[in-house]
Copies of this chain bind each other. A is one copy, B any other.
Amino acid sequence: MSKEIGIKAKKKEDFSEWYSEVIIKSELADYGSVKGFMVLRPYGFQIWEIIKETFDKWIKRLNHKNAYFPSLIPQSLLMKEREHFKGFNPEVFWVTHAGNDELSEKLAIRPTSETIIYDSYAKWVRSWRDLPLLINVWNSVLRAEIKSTKPFIRTSEFLWQEGHTVHESKKDADKEVRRIIKLYKRLIEDYLAIPTIIGKKSEKEKFVGALYTITLESLMPDGRALQMGTSHNLGQNFSKPFEIKFLGRDGKEHYAWTASWGFSWRLLGALVMVHGDDKGLIIPPKVAPIQVIIIPIFYKKEKEKIIQKVKDLKKKLKRAKVRVEFDLREGYTPGWKYNEWELKGVPLRIEIGPRDLANEQAVIVRRDNSEKRMVKEELLVRSVKEALDSIQKDLFKRAKGWLDENTFEVKSFGEFEEKIEKGALIKAPWCLNQECEIAIKEKSGADIRLIPLVRKRPNENCMVCEKPAKVFAYFARAY
């Protein structure tokens, strides 16, 4: 492979440079014309489509329905829930003109859609019979990233889904928040092969305007945590200013309880970081646009026969629901093609040469561990399916092992600082006092990523104030 195409940076040496290089050279994404904006190229978009279709099917089974709401929000509507909106203030893109005319009221491009959606919900919800109202939106939202931007992780516009649901009671909203975070976990662990930890955000870190936020966190290979998805119980904090009221089963009027939840294309960034290596991407089979690439090795004599065989195998695998392609391009050596498809992270490669043709066999090569196997043609479909399953499981296992190795429980701040410096997820006793949380952040750069849902009262004291701790919390430096 020519130097310009291969990855130059090493994952262990310059993680950040390696990350950007993999994304650009594998053609997952590209930089946009405006700083901070990103183009999701077809190869990356195909992964997003698989994620989307998978999750979409799940929530539809739970009676959620998709809809579309305007991308522009009048300033007056945003002012209805000042507390919430304050958090987004510096990030909002403002539309002030249409053509040459100044607008009578400024319009914000949605940084998230709670306010504009609740304006509609207030009209639609009348009675408990209308509840739960379970709506999801697949769209893009815009948040101006002025300082540092990073493809997928921190971009001024990103694709995501935002679910917005209305319930009769706090308990119903609680249930929604939790069943969704469980679906996120299933999606991210079973499909993206990335291990995660579920917990509650601290008061300081929760979504502005939420009663509480449940989060799903993971640890990237550079030792920084990444928030993978969040699910918020918004209590009645929005239903009151927006007047989302319903006639209850008791014949009285009540303010509704609302919840919201989302994950974004950031998941693709996590996938790159967690699984990729110095050769490029490694895509878990369940979300790989191409699961198998067939590459012929030909010499003049057998060329036509080998091409025919490649086409036959593709047909066979396709019938077995494997996402398979072949690479018959002329003018490239097999070795060059291997490198390119490895860069693109295709989980399994099939090689067919004259000897394979004669022996009715093929060679299958795993992208994750370079394992090579000779397989008899009549067993190929089964072997391919088994290999894909193994790769999926092994990628998760490896990532889980790494997460476990880099998760530590500490008792003193000295120990904490030492571990955090190397990059880790750290479980430590905390007094629940925000001053200590802030002190830790200032001294170490780490925040509280989550507090486990099942709380055990620690016997230890808070690392900072040394008063008795009330919970264990997970800390990390984060993206």
Contact = CB atoms under 8 A, between A and B. Distances in A.
B66 A39 contact: no
A358 interface: no
A144 interface: yes
Contact of A98 (B30, B39, B48, B93): B93
B93 A97 contact: yes
Interface in A98-112: 98-101, 107, 109
Interface residues of A, number: 55
A87 to B, nearest CB: 12
A49 to B, nearest CB: 7
Nearest to A89: B99
B140 A68 contact: yes
A308 interface: no
A30 B96 contact: no
B67 A45 contact: yes
A135 interface: yes
A41 B73 CA distance: 17
A375 to B, nearest CB: 30
A91 interface: yes
A203 to B, nearest CB: 24
B98 A144 contact: yes
Interface string A309-331: 00000000000000000000100
A159 interface: yes
What copy number does this chain have within its complex? 2
Contacts of A39: 67-70, 120
Contacts of A48: 68
Interface string A139-168: 110101010000000000101000000000
B92 A99 contact: yes
A116 B37 CA distance: 11
A34 B70 contact: yes
A101 B146 CA distance: 10
A65 B429 CA distance: 50
A356 interface: no
B109 A70 contact: no
A144 B99 contact: yes
A47 to B, nearest CB: 11
A119 B65 CA distance: 36
A32 interface: yes
A37 to B, nearest CB: 4
A72 interface: yes
Interface in A123-143: 123-124, 129, 135, 139-140, 142
B142 A71 contact: yes
A401 interface: no
A119 B66 CA distance: 32
A77 interface: yes
A120 B45 CA distance: 15
A145 B192 CA distance: 43
B97 A94 contact: yes
Contact of A100 (B38, B45, B90, B98): B90
A68 B43 CA distance: 11
A46 interface: yes
B65 A45 contact: yes
B95 A91 contact: no
Interface in A233-267: none
Nearest to A44: B67
A38 B140 contact: no
Contacts of A157: 70-72
Contacts of A89: 99-100
Nearest to A119: B33
**A-B complex: 3 closest residue pairs judged by Cβ atoms:** A42-B65, A98-B144, A90-B99
Given A34-B72, A70-B157, A96-B96, 6 more contacts: A32-B116, A33-B70, A39-B70, A90-B99, A98-B144, A101-B146
Interface of A: 30, 32-34, 37-42, 45-46, 48-49, 65-74, 77, 89-101, 107, 109, 116, 119-120, 123-124, 129, 135, 139-140, 142, 144, 146, 157, 159, 329
19 contacts: A34-B70, A34-B72, A34-B107, A37-B72, A39-B120, A40-B68, A40-B69, A46-B65, A48-B68, A71-B71, A71-B157, A89-B100, A91-B98, A93-B97, A94-B98, A95-B95, A96-B96, A96-B97, A101-B146
